[in-house]
Amino acid sequence: MKRLIIDCDPGHDDAIAIILAQRHAEVLGITTVSGNAPLDAVTDNALLVTALLNVDTPVHVGAARPLVGDPIHAARVHGVNGLGGVDRIEHGRTPASEDAVGFLLEAAAEDVWVVPIGPLTNIALAIERDPDWVHRIAGISLMGGSVDSGNATPKAEFNIFADPEAAAKVFASGANIIMCGLNLTHQLRTTDSTVERLRAMDRPLATFAAQVFDHLHNRMEELIGQRNAALHDPCAVLAVTHPHLIDAEPRAVAVETEGKLTRGMTVVDERVTRRRGEPTAQVAYGIDAAAAMELVLDALGADQ
């Protein structure tokens, strides 16, 4: 089994990604970062998911704010607490530490993949503390960026836009990076029939996921008039656990930190081969969405 660390900001799709990872990998730990909601909220949500899964995966608390500027959140999608619309359970769980970066550095090994699915602040801080860290792990499979349009702004995807300086450091670090951007994740979508399939399973985790997707569909209907949602974060997990489902190409990727209109944009060099910059990431362009969705639904219906 692959060994992973999930760096996240739960977040509805983060929660599904954690469940998927637990089903198909050895999750050494979860690190949290301010993103979809403030740090305390996303940490509570990560602890809630480990309780729902009944696993003792340690949760380590990370950065409360980006490297530069103030934190931004995504309450209009995920709710003020980061996981709106789902029933919560009392669990009494607490974080294993307040030092996510220390955990990331300590847990590094040649077979360990780091899977950031929120802003890249913790990852950049780890690189700042030990630049050689990126060569002591198997790689970084991240959900973030896009080869074309954004969601936080016309050109920036939320995870990158929330901390562009951190993202710029990560893409320039020399790490073995898989980038699962919006151009990929928009190909994996849940619909109301997904919710019906989950409800029919009549299992606690499936019922939780049905609430997760129903919340997202309600928000998408209000925001863009469509009752479906991209399943972003699980793509970064599948890129490690099921790489055959993803088509990726080597590309030079850099992050804009100065542009008035383009701050947080992942600039992917797609010029003709002979003029391209040196690749800095494997950029994902295609996914077998049907097979991916079946793996997600299987993980959600699994016995706990």
Q: Closer to ligand RIB at the Cβ: 36 or 121?
A: 36
**Tokens of residue 106, six digits:** 């300590």
Q: Closer to Ca ion at the Cβ: 76 or 136?
A: 76
Catalytic, 232? Answer: yes
Q: Closer to ligand RIB at the Cβ: 201 or 218?
A: 218
Span 140-199, contacts to ligand RIB by CB under 6 A: 143, 151, 157-159
Among 14, 44, 157, 256, binds Ca ion (CB under 5 A): 14
Helix residue ranges, H only, the chain: 12-24, 39-53, 75-78, 100-106, 121-129, 158-161, 164-171, 182-185, 192-201, 204-224, 232-241, 289-300
Q: Closer to ligand RIB at the Cβ: 50 or 146?
A: 146
Among 6, 7, 13, 57, binds ligand RIB (CB under 6 A): 13
Whole-angstrom distance, CA of residue 251 vs CA of residue 142 = 15
Span 100-119, contacts to Ca ion by CB under 5 A: 117-118
> x/- binding map, residues 215-234, to ligand RIB, per CB under 6 A?
-----------------xx-
Helix residue ranges, H only, 148-304: 158-161, 164-171, 182-185, 192-201, 204-224, 232-241, 289-300
Is residue 11 within the footprint of Ca ion (CB under 5 A)?
yes
CB 130, CB 137: distance < 8 Å: no
Is residue 245 within the footprint of Ca ion (CB under 5 A)?
no
**Dihedral sign (CA 235, 33, 103, 26):** negative
| Contact partners, residue 275, CB within 8 Å, separation at least 6 | none
Residues taking part in catalysis: 232
Q: Where does this chain bind Ca ion (CB under 5 A)?
A: 9, 11, 14, 117-118, 233
List residues binding ligand RIB (CB under 6 A).
Answer: 9, 11, 13-14, 35-36, 74, 117-118, 143, 151, 157-159, 232-233
